[in-house]
């Protein structure tokens, strides 16, 4: 298999697992991504749009819909009186943690047929690919303080 084919097929495999989790937790893909980004801390709208790769109008609608479901709330931005931050509600935080943990567990099971040494090599290589391509931290490692470091 060529590198491109292997990566595309791997993306399909991970997407299938992610899609199953999204359905089971009664979320949309975008809502799940929003919740997982907000686990670390509240974000401003511009920062959220940039991190999630969405247009301003799309992020506004996503936040509105998530707010109506009681998953997020808007709070004042202490650094800018005209702006607000988007933060998880208690319900949203609980759902985000459950979704994150279950989805990460399911995805981590995909390479279990590899030896422990090969799994470590794969993690190292994928970490470099993610870092080299400046992929935003949508999913973070649960073993890190405040979930602020890369998956390992």
The CA distance from 123 to 70, in Å, is: 35
Q: What does the pLDDT look like over 12-49, one tens digit per residue? A: 999 999 999 999 999 999 999 999 999 999 999 999 99
Q: What does the pLDDT look like over 45-76, one tens digit per residue? A: 999 999 998 998 899 999 999 999 999 999 98
- The burial of 74, by beta-carbon neighbours within 10 Å (0-12 exposed, 13-18 middle, 19 or more buried), is given as middle
The pLDDT value recorded for residue 104 is 92
Residue 69: what are its φ and ψ, rounded to 5°?
Answer: -85, -5
Longest dimension (CA), the chain: 54
For 3-112, give the CATH class.
mainly alpha
Confidence (pTM) = 0.81
Residue 145 scores a pLDDT above 80: no
Residue 152 scores a pLDDT above 50: no
The pLDDT value recorded for residue 148 is 37
């Amino acid at each position: 298999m060529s590198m491109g084919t292997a990566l595309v097929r791997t993306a399909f495999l991970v997407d299938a697992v992610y899609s199953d989790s999204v359905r089971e937790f009664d979320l949309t893909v975008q809502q799940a991504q929003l919740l997982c980004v907000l686990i670390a801390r509240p974000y401003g709208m511009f920062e959220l749009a940039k991190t999630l790769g969405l247009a301003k109008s799309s992020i506004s609608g996503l936040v509105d819909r998530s707010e109506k479901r009681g998953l997020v709330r808007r709070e004042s931005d202490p650094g800018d009186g005209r702006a607000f931050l988007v933060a998880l509600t208690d319900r949203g935080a609980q759902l985000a943690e459950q979704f994150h943990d279950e989805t990460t567990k399911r995805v981590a099971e995909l390479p279990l047929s590899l030896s422990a040494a090969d799994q470590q090599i794969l993690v190292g290589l994928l970490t470099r690919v993610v870092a080299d391509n400046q992929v935003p931290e949508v999913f973070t490692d649960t073993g890190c303080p405040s979930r602020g470091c890369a998956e390992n």
